[in-house]
Amino acid sequence: MKGRSFIEILEILAAWFLAFLWILPLLYAFWAAFHASEHSIHFNLLAPLTLENFREALSQAPFLRYGFNTFVLVTMLLAAQLIVGTLAAYAFARFQFAGSNVAFALVLVQLMITPEILIVENYGTLANLGLVDTILGIGLPYMASAFGIFLLRQAFKSVPKELEEAARLEGCGLFGILMRVYVPLARPTYLAYGLVSISHHWNNFLWPLVITNSVETRPLTVGLGVFASPESGVDWSIISAATLLSVAPLLIAFLLFQRQFVQSFMYAGIK
């Protein structure tokens, strides 16, 4: 650390200390998950390691099924969001249609009034549609995403008009232009939005809690919430094991593609 001032060293130490605090919950989850419950709250470094908690968690609740549900939910939702969002963004970016400004303002309303706030009414709607306790029902209110439409509209708007003209001369129709020109050029936006959407819905809890009843539809968060409700007596070892199981896919993906994740969130935020 030569050439650094005292203040700088102090700042670096502060940065590390803060990092330690921020990662502490995760560190603890690892500690508790790999130790028997009598060692879970005593930090004796010599305590024996065990995988028993994972076995126990898996046998007490169908986490694999929950994981599958989450996977189906996130995939289906992202696909729908991209399709719906692309079409709407295309409309806003390239068609000066009557009422487009008002329509766009109405879309942006969802940035403020997110589906979480309307759980009561939306529950009623889905009950009428017969979609309570279905994975489709968890996803439906989120399928049109104002955030996605907004991001894609920005991306489409930055595509040079000449490219569109060129494609038209080659005989592309409206859809050809969308698929050959706009979508490929907006790839970074798709990636960024995709990662943000996946992380968000992987972790979403309140609405899935409200709308799901059964094991066949519960995503990981709800399964974990139900499994680890404090009423059933907190055993941090098993809960931590279950927690790690639930976050593992996303956490591993994050560790592997850290750069993309961070840049995607950055990108999505700056637009």
Q: Identity (one letter) of the amino acid at 54? A: F
* 109 touches other proteins by CB under 8 A: yes
**Closest by CA position to 219, among listed 124, 131, 118, 133:** 133
Compute the least distance from the CB of residue 231 to other proteins, in Å: 4
Q: Which stretch binds other proteins (CB under 8 A): 44-52, 163-171, 186-194, 197-205?
A: 197-205
Residues 6+ apart with CB under 8 A from 244: 29, 30, 33, 54
Q: Which of residues 161-180 bind other proteins (CB under 8 A)?
A: 173-175, 179
Query: Taking a C-beta distance cutoff of 8 angstroms, is the pair 148, 171 a contact?
Result: no
According to DSSP, residue 114 is labeled -
Chain positions 198 to 257 lying near other proteins, rule: CB under 8 A, are 199, 202-206, 209-210, 213-215, 220-221, 224-226, 228-236, 239-240, 243, 246-247, 250-251, 254-255
Judged by CB under 8 A, the residue of 50, 52, 58, 133 near other proteins is 133
User: Any contact of residue 3 with other proteins (CB under 8 A)?
Assistant: no
Is there binding between residue 193 and other proteins (CB under 8 A)?
no
CB of 187 to other proteins, least distance (A): 18
Question: CA triplet 17, 260, 141: central angle to 5 degrees?
Answer: 100
Q: Does 74 bind other proteins (CB under 8 A)?
A: no
Query: In whole angstroms, what is the distance from residue 28 CA to residue 42 CA?
Result: 11
Residue found under tokens 């840049």: 263
